[in-house]
A = this chain, B = another copy of it.
Amino acid sequence: MTKGPAAPGRGSSVEMPEARGKGQVFGAGAEEVAGSGSFFRSRWVTPPSGFEELEPTALAPGFRASGVACGLKGGGGTDVGLLACEAADVGSALLLTRNAAPAAPVIVCRDECDAGAIRAVVVNSGNANAATGEQGYRDALAMRDAAAAALGLEGPHVAVAETGTIGVPLRVGDVLRGVDDAAGRLAEDAAGFSEAIMTTDRGPKRCALRTDGVTLSAQAKGAGMIEPGFATMLCFVQTDAALDDPEALLRGAVAASFERITVDGQLSTNDTVLLQATGESGRPLPQGLLEAALLQLALEIVADGEGASRTARVVVSEASTPEEAERVARAIANSPLVKTALYGRDPNWGRVAQAAGMALAGEEVPELGPERIDAAELGSDVPEAELAIRLGRGEAGAHVFFSDLTNDYVELNAEYTT
């Protein structure tokens, strides 16, 4: 265990641009970096006060997990994961993609699960089971039911998630054998589970943190098809905290983390975020703990974006409305011209002005010149670059984290199938 740095006097885990005052986007705090070697590596995350960092593969008390290989991935990689809660009580929240072409497991979660009382989740990687029709639905349901049977649970208490290629029939027989195998290997460790959910990820994304007598563990995956409508990718969070309203808590934390990132502007068909809480610690969730963990995991997804070499945050201020600020921030974050400038270390504020002007087409806007745009860090070597634009139209703001666009993104997506 390592003792993480405290962040005295900070109530929120997220550096919101509003908190810094207009025109002071690069103010105190922006350069803070959590202790090296710590989970909290990003300048943009304020760790919760006085937290302890457990082994990243640890699980909150009451949870067990496993990961096995069933053959969906080439090379024998683990591709079926199972996670189950064995505490007396469990409350949960389950958020799903808003894509109008949702994958079969998303439909099963939506229509066949009790989102507030999820005890277990079964996951496969290698096949998204999306756009697979009635058979795909039956396969996802069979997978969910097999996990429920193996764990002695009722179907509605088990969620299912899948990630990988779209439009390919699931080899469900292999997956069902994998589910049985995984059920026999559950252990108090998320190492296998966090690897079994990976696709094009460079490595697992996971953490286990303790503060104020509460433990929180989480495992996430994601690298491409990343622009959250509410969230993106898969993320599973476990805690022994006692939560009054898990859904409201999760929605708030996701709004400030997974909803703030983009890799390629593509809302996935399979996004799923699950929070499970046993309440066994008898304590509430410490302020900022969930938010900081999800924000760091979200930033790891951006940094691990397909082909990505650098991460940036664009901070839009002085917008007329929050919606306008958001629209401008996303237009900049998703502009291939801005993303290639980030890659090429070109402090090209003109491309930022063009993207903002596109998002504001038809509006009266003060000239968006260099006095309103700070793009200096685009041209620097900092891995996490700050970019700021003041629109001069009002008081609202928004920020979005994004990755650069590189040759590796093109090669990865031209040469391999999704």
Inside 8 A of A414's CB, which chain B residues have their CB? 340-341, 343-344, 346, 405-406
A357→B99 contact, CB < 8 A: yes
Question: Chain B: which residue is nearest A404 at the CB level?
Answer: B414
Contact of A355 among B266, B341, B405 (CB under 8 A): B266
For the complex, what is the distance from the CA of A109 to the CA of B191, rounded to whole Å? 63
For the complex, what is the distance from the CA of A415 to the CA of B405, rounded to whole Å? 12
Does A75 interact with chain B (Cβ within 8 Å)? no
For the complex, what is the distance from the CA of A274 to the CA of B346, rounded to whole Å? 33
Inside 8 A of A409's CB, which chain B residues have their CB? 336, 340, 410
A354→B410 contact, CB < 8 A: no
For the complex, what is the distance from the CA of A405 to the CA of B413, rounded to whole Å? 10
Scan residues 272-325 of chain A and give those whose CB is less than 8 A from a CB of chain B: none
For the complex, what is the distance from the CA of A356 to the CA of B167, rounded to whole Å? 14
Contact of A131 among B131, B337, B363, B369 (CB under 8 A): B369
Contact of A369 among B167, B344, B362 (CB under 8 A): B167
Using A130-B353, A351-B418, A410-B407 as known contacts, say yes or no to A336 and B101 having CB atoms under 8 A apart.
no
For the complex, what is the distance from the CA of A368 to the CA of B100, rounded to whole Å? 9
Inside 8 A of A133's CB, which chain B residues have their CB? 367, 369
Inside 8 A of A5's CB, which chain B residues have their CB? none
Using A354-B130, A414-B344 as known contacts, say yes or no to A98 and B367 having CB atoms under 8 A apart.
no
For the complex, what is the distance from the CA of A131 to the CA of B353, rounded to whole Å? 7
Scan residues 325-375 of chain A and give those whose CB is less than 8 A from a CB of chain B: 334-337, 340-341, 343-344, 346, 348-351, 353-365, 367-370
20 contacts between A and B (CB under 8 A): A98-B362, A100-B359, A100-B364, A101-B354, A101-B356, A101-B360, A130-B353, A131-B349, A166-B348, A166-B350, A166-B351, A224-B337, A229-B358, A266-B335, A266-B358, A267-B354, A336-B336, A340-B414, A348-B417, A351-B418
